[in-house]
Structure formats: C-alpha cells, structure tokens
Amino acid sequence: MSFENQLVKWYINNKRDLPWRENKDPYRVWISEIILQQTRVVQGTKYYNKFIKKFPNIQSLASSKESEVLNIWKGLGYYNRAINLHKSSQYIISNLDGKFPETYYDIIKLKGVGDYTASAISSICFNEFNPVVDGNVLRLLSRYYGLKTPIDSLKAQRKIKEIGQKLINKTNNPGDFNQAMMEFGSLVCSPFPDCESCAFSSKCIAFNKKEVEIIPVKSKKKKSKERFFNYIVCIDNNYNTMVNKRLSKDIWYKLNEFPLIESKREIKNITTLPEFKEFTKSKSIVINEEKYKKERIKHILSHQILYITFHHLSIDQDISQGVHLSKLNKYNFPVPITNFINKLLI
C-alpha cells in the first residue's frame, strides 16, 4: 500500500475523538484550528468547548463585544487571534450574508487566516486538495524523506508543501489525509518517536540512516528578547487604582494593565526614575514612600522573557476616574497581572 493510503488507513483506525471532529461545520473547524495554533490539544480542547458554548455560531460571535471574546480567550495568549476571529465573523455577516467562505482563496482572505488554516478548512470541510504544513507535518515528512534543510526555512517549507501536494493529489479524501499527517506526526512520529513499532520504518530514510535524532534540522535558535516591565500600582484611600488599555501592536494588544514604565534593566527604586517623576506630576499625585513595596516575577513567552515588577504604592489623593479594587475582575488583564491581582485581593 502507498504511504499516503496507509497513513489515511492508520488515521481512520487511530484518530482521537475530539469535539471539532463531530461534524464538518467550517465555523467549528476554523475556531479549533485557530485555538490549536501554538496550543496543545488537551489545553486547546478546554478552550474550544468554552468558546463554542459561549459563541455556538458565526452570528453569536459577530454580535458579541470584543471584550467578551478576549475574556473567553484569557490565558491562551496571542490575543490577536481572538481579535481577528471576532473581526472575521463580522466580515462574514456583513459581506458574505453570514455564509462561511467555501474555497481556499476565499477562506484565506479572512483576517488571521494563513496558508495552513485555509488548507485545513478547505480540505476538511470542502474536499479541496490543499496540503497542510504545520510542525507535525514538517517533522514527519522531513524524516520519512530524509530532508535535512532546516525546517524553519522557507525553502524547507516550500519543499514539504510540494511533497504534500503530490501525496494529497493521489488520495480520495484530502481532509482525512491532512488530518492523518498531523495526527501521525503528533502521536507517533513525535519529537521522541517509537520507530520500532512504526508501520513506515522499512521505508523511512531517517530511521534507516539512523538520523531520527537529528531530523528535523533546525537553524540556530534566536535568543529570547528580555524586557523589563514596571507596573505602577497606586492605591488611594478609597481603594481605587489606575487601569490602562494596551493599544500599541505589541504583546497583549488591547488587554488591560496598570500604568507601565518599560526600562532597559531592572529598577531597584522606581521613585527615583525620571519617567516616574513625570508620571506622578502628570497625575498630580504624591507617593507615600514609607509604604512602597514591590513584587517581581519572571514570565516567559515564546520569544520574550518578561521581568515584571509590580510597584505597589499608596497615595493620599483620590484617583479621578479610578477603578475600585473589587471591580478589577471585570477587566481583561494578561495572566501574570491577573495572578498578581488575585493575590492583592486576598
């Protein structure tokens, strides 16, 4: 039996029972594919179930507020994905009569949808012959064909796409073939594969050349960027504090935070910093330095390491338009700030 047909047969017998596989509703497949980018299936399934319960269809998602979508997304990271889902649902309602697009070329026009997601949806839901290329597929095919071009290069991704296209064209069910490649790469040809019991071992080049441990090849990893965030948590006598919204295209876009001063290195005493002096002047507040406390945490993102210090400060003036501490849970803060708030409110 050919590689592609054997792979599909394996998938039919071994696929996991996952909620978005219950039917081929493109809305549900779309949501699952976006959630599963950068997220493991176990964690992604919990978010998927929560998301579908709250927004069971395009109409309910489009008519919701962006803050409600961000609230469901809280903790998943990459918040732009949630914002794009929301925008795209409104685009589908206003421009496509509420009907999910049915071809690769129309699906890829949705905000936040790239080649991978458009290939997955168009093959699974509309039977189009577009191969997916994700981390699992790159690992499986580069091992099976013995490719040593670094998989994080465009050249390798193009080559794998080409191979995938030839394979998928020979199958009867492109959706099952794509899911088979991803499922096999995730469950069998994993980073630590069980090659002895793999049905493809006799033809797998990496296995036969004893190169499974070196393929897929990756180019040198870039060092994560280190950033130093100083949050000013001022609390007045009425237990009000200040909350801002992040509006620059950066991490945590459109989420809330306390007033922030980002510095080049760690700050021992924020009250000596010129930016802090400017901040207190602009807000007409005076800090009670005797009650100054700080708490430092390290938070790791995929390409950044954040050293976050919460500078906890008491002030005697009333904060105008402040937010009462008991109302902070109504805002969408990123996880490390939410954790800090939970401790603050105990």
- The reply on whether position 147 binds ligand SF4 by CB under 6 A is no
- The DSSP code for 21 is G
Q: Residue 86 or residue 139: which is nearer to ligand SF4 going by CB? A: 139
Q: How far is the CB of 198 from ligand SF4 (least distance, A)?
A: 3
Contact with ligand SF4 (CB under 6 A) among 72, 195, 301, 325: 195
Alpha carbon 219 to chain centroid, angstroms:
22
Give the orientation angle of helix 66-73 with respect to helix 41-54, to 10 degrees. 150
CA dihedral 332, 335, 336, 339 (to 10 degrees): 90
Cβ atoms of residues 38 and 78 within 8 Å: yes
52: amino acid identity, one letter = I
The smaller minimum CB distance to ligand SF4, of residues 44 and 193, is found at: 193
Whole-number minimum distance, CB 203 to ligand SF4, in Å? 8
19 CB neighbour count, 10 Å cutoff: 11
In the set 20, 207, 258, 331, which binds ligand SF4 (CB under 6 A)?
A: 207
Task: Examine residue 72 and tell whether it contacts ligand SF4 (CB under 6 A).
Answer: no
Interface with ligand SF4, residue 206, by CB under 6 A: yes
Number of residues that bind ligand SF4 (CB under 6 A): 13
Shortest Cβ distance from residue 197 to ligand SF4 (Å)?
8
Q: Is the peptide bond before 193 cis (omega within 30 degrees of 0)?
A: no
Asked if 10 touches ligand SF4 (CB under 6 A), the answer is no
Number of C-beta neighbours around residue 57 at 10 A: 14
- At residue 75's C-alpha, the angle toward residues 45 and 257, to 5°, is 160
Is 33 annotated in the active site? yes
In Å, how far are 234, 248, 260, 273 from 263, measured between CA atoms?
A: 19, 17, 10, 10
Q: Is 198 in the site for ligand SF4 (CB under 6 A)?
A: yes
Shortest Cβ distance from residue 132 to ligand SF4 (Å)?
17
Name the minimum Å distance from CB 5 to ligand SF4: 15
From the list 4, 22, 33, 66, the catalytic residue is: 33
Residue 189 is a binding residue for ligand SF4 (CB under 6 A): yes
Q: Does 143 contact ligand SF4 by CB under 6 A?
A: yes
Whole-number Å distance between alpha carbons of 27 and 148: 37
Residue type, position 36, single letter: L
Q: Give yes or no for residue 216 binding ligand SF4 (CB under 6 A).
A: no
279 binds ligand SF4 (CB under 6 A): no
- The answer to whether 239 touches 320, Cβ cutoff 8 Å, is no
Kindly tell me which of 191 and 274 has the beta carbon lying closer to ligand SF4: 191
**Piece of 8-16, 91-99, 148-156, 205-213 that binds ligand SF4 (CB under 6 A):** 205-213
| CB burial of residue 137 (10 Å; 0-12, 13-18, 19+) | buried
Q: By C-beta, is 188 or 305 nearer to ligand SF4?
A: 188
The site for ligand SF4 (CB under 6 A) is made up of 143-144, 188-189, 193, 195, 198, 200-201, 204, 206-207, 212
Active site residues: 33
